[in-house]
Structure 1
């Protein structure tokens, strides 16, 4: 398996983790007060947008040839770090 394939596999696994975390936030929102629901739903909306951006970056990466994928890897890493921080922040805010 190439470095590109391993990298994509790792990023897909992260996306799956973050989607699962988002599902937990959604479940928490449904059982919360109206004020808390508003706050959580705002975070969820933001995170969904960032996850969609991550998917788009991963798609761009998949479209690049083996030689060219390094050229966009830094952008993918940057988007991933932002998404990771956002997910951690959101889930930390609404822990029981």
Structure 2
């Protein structure tokens, strides 16, 4: 069983990293052409929404009982991985 506080800390750090990546994408959006900018703005909006969802999920995890923690965190693991992949794809296209 993974330490609850450690896992929460990792999730919080990941959310901070994603916030920084979104900020970087916003700065990049000002530098690209019109077509690329529209695509990038769409990705930024999507990522911001997903990040907000994951922040809400983290709050639910924090509020869950110790007994429910393991099953709840397993349920969110796939969503975290999916969002991480979406961030990598969005940032790699605009480097």
TM-score by length of 2: 0.93
2:81 is aligned to 81
1:62 is aligned to 62
1:93 is aligned to 93
2:13 is aligned to 13
- The runs of at least 4 aligned residues of structure 1 exceeding 4 Å deviation read none
Identify unmatched segments of 5+ residues in structure 2.
Answer: none
Distance 1:71 1:90 in 2: 30
Task: Give RMSD over aligned pairs.
Answer: 1.2
Distance 1:80 1:18 in 2: 11
Identify unmatched segments of 5+ residues in structure 1.
Answer: none
Aligned pairs, number: 94
